Amino acid sequence: MPPIENTVWLEQRFRAQGYIPEPALLTSLYLQARLARPLLLEGHAGVGKTETAKVLAQVLDTELIRLQCYEGLDANAALYEWNYQKQLLAIKLQEGDARSLADKERHIFGREYLLERPLLRAIGERDAPAVLLIDEVDRADEEFEAFLLELLSEYQVTIPEIGTVRASCVPHVLLTSNRTRELSDALKRRCLYHWIEYPDQEREREIIRARIPEIPDALARQVVGVMQSLRGLNLDKPPGVAESLDWALALLALGKSGLDAAVLEETMGCFLKSNEDFRVLRANMEGILATMPGA
Amino acid sequence: MNPIHPQAEQEAVSALLAGRLTDFCHGLRGRGFRIGVKETLDACRIAGRFMATDYPAFRDGLRSLLCASEEQWRAFGPCFDAFWSRGEQSPPSAPAPMLPDMAGDSAEERARQIAGRDGEAEEGDQEGTLTTGASAAQALRLTDLSLLSAADLRQLERLAERLWRRMSLRLARRLRGHYLASRIDLRRTLRRNISRGGELLELVHAGKKRRKPGLVLLLDVSGSMNQYSLFFLRFAHALQQHFRRVHSFLFSTHLVEVSEVLRGGDLSAALELLSHMSLGWGGGTQIGESLQKLNRDYGDSALRGRPYLIVLSDGWDVGETELLSAELQALRRRVSKIIWLNPLLGMEGYEPLTRGMRTALPWLNVFAPAHNLESLLDIERHLVG
């Protein structure tokens, strides 16, 4: 795996993967690796939090291990579990075997009966550090957060039947949160923090061009113009970059080369997801079209 | 990835810079940033790495190290600019006089000492502020809702929001215990697998899946009850996700369902609307009639599936007691629990002697006060099991 040399190197690699990062994010990622600390990413929906981890794994040419958090996530689902069925079968097969009881027990609590879940996999035996994405950590409950904190400070876990598993190399840990609840101070202190802002006009256009090279420049400008003014309105769910990309693709598929009120009306379902927001857009349609580039 | 090694000497920073960084961290701490010794040391490393070559990266690096929320992220820029541009104007000269002379020590060592001292101070400070903060909050929790000023009420709402979120997490965990009991039920496992000649292939886990209960709220909005009821609605709203479905009703002389109004995202706007709506409702409370309407008209919707029923009322009833008694009895058969919250119960020396309350008492599972935040939080234990 290529180590992260500096932020310039990172930027080149990220851009090569079609991800146009803000410079500060690169610094955070670089420090994450240098200080071997987890990085907590927050930001509005659709600004590329999860994508950051995916691209980082591609850039470092390593495995992306993803743990999607949800309410009720527990250590069994996140760390490891014994394969009970297999163990029971093994016991059956061993019936009449001459081996001692201790031997048999050692056998059925061996590695081959262990189901590795994401966290154990991330700190398990490997040549290069993996990228561990702990997605939407705010959805898991506080109990799990405490457990996570323990793991992230020592990078080791103890499995009673086997012993302590220690990371041979510390993974790149990225956490994302949508702020549905406050994370504990302890976890926040353990992490570096980065707030991903919506990209500015210039960068958003660059992102669209990078992801959808075949889009005409004029259309990309218009899409970005509309998106930027939409984020200024008081919407229920302001569209993120992901929505810009979806919308741009949709416009291309429909063969549209420019935007007007009719096209917006027809395609607003690509980037707005509620009837209330539709109404806000309709009410502000004129203003948005007037400020759109090339209008 | 390798942590930074001590031998990376080129990254060590000058004593002066270490002092400045420590001051900077100290300043941020005063603004509520949580920065410990470890962060200060890491700040020195970042400075050693970037300061000389890349000023923006130095700034970005410190920001990601020292911030822990969006608010801090936004506040950091101005703090940083104010501190470090001031520093550039005054040329670096001798270290500040208050620092002991440590000419021989390495810069990091020095930062450690300075930061360590600050760290201790911080610990003490924090404890101090936390205690005062806690006791103010505690007092607010115990204040009767009808006695609060508008400003206090807003503050209480914020506090309540936080506490309820914590409580609803706790509730989720307790309920989960019923859902996912992962203990293997050995007896049933063996029995289930007899057809396979005793090969244990299919495991049976102990415990049954339990469905989330529904919740029906009946809120008295006659005159004196208004303030309590509307505040209580916030509480109910916070709990919404832990119930299959929450049906909310307002009543005084008649019964109105308001579930849909509350289901929208903007609770404050909904409450505003409701408080205007209920203002026009004069006259005495007719609990019996309201319950009758609930039984008759909402039996198939709100009362389906044995929900929990919470009634918030002071029990001043002008209707017939026979009707109230009969309707409560009927309700008792349809719901799994009747919880009656009476704000007056929080008053010193109150006895539930009103006609309505006396009639209702035999049919209730829980009779509890609800006059302040503390008592609302206490309801949690009635909502599980």
pLDDT in tens, A130-140: 999 999 998 88
Question: Do the chains contact at A28 and B61, CB–CB below 8 Å?
Answer: yes
Does residue B181 fall inside a structural domain? no
Domain limit, last residue, from B85, B117, B149: B85
Alpha carbons B66 and B33: distance in angstroms, whole number: 7
- B120: Cβ–Cβ under 8 A, 6 or more apart, which residues? none
Question: Do the chains contact at A34 and B49, CB–CB below 8 Å?
Answer: yes
Asked if the model's pLDDT at residue A190 lies above 50, the reply is yes
User: Greater confidence, A204 or B165?
Assistant: A204
Q: What counts of helices (H) and strands (E) characterise chain B?
A: 14, 6
Q: Which one, of B257, B260, B252, B258, lies nearest residue B280 by Cα?
A: B252
- pLDDT value for B118: 43
Alpha carbons B149 and B139: distance in angstroms, whole number: 14
Q: How far apart are the two ends of chain A, measured CA to CA in Å?
A: 48
Residues B102, B110 contacting (CB under 8 angstroms): yes
> B267 is in which domain, residue-wise?
213-382
Nearest CB among B60, B74, B165 relative to A24 is that of B60
Q: What is the average pLDDT value for chain A, to the nearest integer?
A: 89
- pLDDT value for A204: 94
Which amino acid is it at A34? R
User: Greater confidence, B302 or A197?
Assistant: A197
Is A93 touching B (CB cutoff 8 A)? Answer: no
CA of B104 to nearest chain A CA: how many angstroms apart?
27
Question: Do the chains contact at B49 and A42, CB–CB below 8 Å?
Answer: no
Residue of A nearest to B57 (CA): A27
Does residue B187 fall inside a structural domain? no
Asked if the model's pLDDT at residue B183 lies above 80, the reply is no
Residues A29-52 have pLDDT tens digits of 999 998 889 999 999 888 999 999
pTM of structure: 0.61
**What's the mean pLDDT in B150-171?**
69
Confidence class for position A147, pLDDT limits 50, 70, 90:
confident
**What's the mean pLDDT in B187-191?**
75
Same domain for B363 and B224, yes or no, is yes
- pLDDT value for B385: 55
Does residue B172 fall inside a structural domain? no
Residues A243, A269 contacting (CB under 8 angstroms): no
Does residue B107 fall inside a structural domain? no
Interface test with A, best of B11, B53, B64, B161 (most A CBs within 10 A): B64
Domain limit, last residue, from B85, B117, B148: B85
Does residue B104 fall inside a structural domain? no
Residues from chain A that touch B50, judged by Cβ atoms under 8 A, are: 27
Domain total in chain B: 2
Residue of A nearest to B46 (CA): A31
DSSP H stretches of helix in chain A? 7-16, 23-35, 49-59, 75-78, 84-94, 101-108, 118-123, 142-154, 185-190, 201-211, 217-232, 241-253, 261-267, 275-283, 285-291
Q: Token pair of B208, please?
A: 């049954």
Nearest CB among A142, A169, A193 relative to B73 is that of A193
Asked if the model's pLDDT at residue A277 lies above 70, the reply is yes
Question: Do the chains contact at B64 and A27, CB–CB below 8 Å?
Answer: yes
Alpha carbons B49 and B374: distance in angstroms, whole number: 51
Alpha carbons B18 and B110: distance in angstroms, whole number: 8
Alpha carbons B65 and B61: distance in angstroms, whole number: 6
Does residue B178 fall inside a structural domain? no
Which range, of A112-116, A224-228, B2-6, B84-88, averages the lowest pLDDT?
B2-6
- How, if at all, do strands A114-116 and A172-177 pair? unpaired
Candidate ranges A60-69, B210-219, B281-290, B308-317; pick with highest mean pLDDT: A60-69
Task: State the CATH number of the domain containing residue B352.
Answer: 3.40.50.410
- pLDDT value for A283: 92
Alpha carbons A38 and A28: distance in angstroms, whole number: 10
- pLDDT value for B135: 58
Q: Token pair of B98, please?
A: 């208050």
- pLDDT value for B86: 62
Question: Do the chains contact at B70 and A89, CB–CB below 8 Å?
Answer: no
Is A169 touching B (CB cutoff 8 A)? Answer: yes
Residues B103-131 have pLDDT tens digits of 344 555 545 554 444 444 444 333 333 33
Q: A93-115 burial string, b = 16+ CB within 10 Å, else e?
A: eeeeeeeeeeeeeebbbeeebbe
Does residue B61 fall inside a structural domain? yes
- pLDDT value for A272: 93
Domain limit, last residue, from B85, B114, B131: B85
Question: Do the chains contact at B67 and A193, CB–CB below 8 Å?
Answer: yes
Residue of B nearest to A180 (CA): B165
**What's the mean pLDDT in B341-366?**
83
Q: A4-43 burial string, b = 16+ CB within 10 Å, else e?
A: bebbeebbebbeebebbbbebbbbbbbbbbbbbbbbbbbb
Alpha carbons B155 and B159: distance in angstroms, whole number: 6
Residues A148, A134 contacting (CB under 8 angstroms): yes
Does residue B278 fall inside a structural domain? yes
Is A49 touching B (CB cutoff 8 A)? Answer: no
Alpha carbons B164 and B193: distance in angstroms, whole number: 45
Same domain for B80 and B222, yes or no, is no
CA of A292 to nearest chain B CA: how many angstroms apart?
28
- B45: Cβ–Cβ under 8 A, 6 or more apart, which residues? A34, A35, B4, B11
User: Residue A286: CA atoms inside 13 Å, Cβ hemisphere, count?
Assistant: 1
Is A27 touching B (CB cutoff 8 A)? Answer: yes
Which range, of B107-116, B221-230, B245-254, averages the lowest pLDDT?
B107-116
Q: Which one, of A276, A213, A273, lies nearest residue A245 by Cα?
A: A213
Q: Specify the 3-state DSSP secondary structure of B142.
A: helix
